[in-house]
Amino acid sequence: MVMADGFEYAGEDVVNDMVKPISQAFLQAFRALPQPYPFCYNVLYLESGGERILIDTGLGAAGKPGSGHLLDLLQKQGITTDQIDKVILRHLHLDHVGGLTLDEKPVFTNADIILPKLEWEYWIESGKAAVERTQILRTVFQPYLERIRYVDDGDTMADGITVVALPGHTPGHCGFLIESQAQRLLHMVDALHVQTQVAFPEVSPVFDVQPDISANTRRMILGRIADEGIMALTYHLPLLGLGRVEHDGESFAWKPVL
């Protein structure tokens, strides 16, 4: 089940700030999308092997009113936070991990926290991240320190859920391949931020830590999804981020699934 933790409208000014210089072709393709363009925060909940699993937590209460609605959505489904067995994080940007705590107390009192080891090393241990960001993340994770589990590329997170390394947006950024009853879904997470990047995979936003690497990763994973006919899920694309990818000459086309 994909839930929209929230969204904000992204205008041309936001897209224009993604990368400099930006081509007119990219801008024209963006203008052709339905406007105003919603920049979404799509959180995935699933049940696998008898476990209740949440992939990402959204921004948390700090994001309201635009986002931060995950707990309300879970409640509507009759799911309480103490029932969550695992919270899987793909990278440590605050719009993915901010919902872990409320007033510095753990929201998911019984859940193991699973995240890429490279992400923890970069943001918490390396000294390469901004001091302010590291301090915020330390506060977010403090209540969970005894329940953090680290994973690497190819590891199994839960029954049918495998880590797929997608570096560039952040050094340890990863996605997940989810397989069930011959169906496959590949969660690209933040390998994409706006739909226009499908046709222009070389365009990386300013918030990609390693823009050259992220561009190569984007082209690689779009090609794999198109070649293998896998359903794709993204964190920020509209309509809950679900779609299929097709080859379009030397680039790709996005076919949203409503």
Number of Cβ atoms within 10 Å of the Cβ of 1: 12
**Is residue 229 scored above 90 in pLDDT?**
yes
Confidence of residue 67 (pLDDT cuts 50, 70, 90): confident
Report the first-to-last Cα separation within the chain, whole angstroms. 13
- Of 5-19, 48-62, 206-220, give the range with the top mean pLDDT: 206-220
Number of Cβ atoms within 10 Å of the Cβ of 193: 24
Domain ranges of the chain: 2-256
pLDDT digit string, tens, across residues 104-114: 889 999 999 99
pLDDT score, position 21 = 73
pLDDT digit string, tens, across residues 162-215: 999 999 999 999 999 999 888 899 999 999 999 999 999 999 988 899 999 999
Q: Where are the alpha helices (DSSP H) in the chain?
A: 12-16, 24-31, 70-76, 94-97, 117-120, 131-141, 196-199, 211-228
Provide CATH code, domain 2-256.
Answer: 3.60.15.10
Return d(Cα 218, Cα 210) in angstroms, integer. 12
pLDDT digit string, tens, across residues 147-161: 999 999 989 888 889
Confidence of residue 131 (pLDDT cuts 50, 70, 90): very high
* Residue 125: burial class (beta carbons within 10 Å; 0-12, 13-18, 19+): exposed
pLDDT score, position 174 = 95
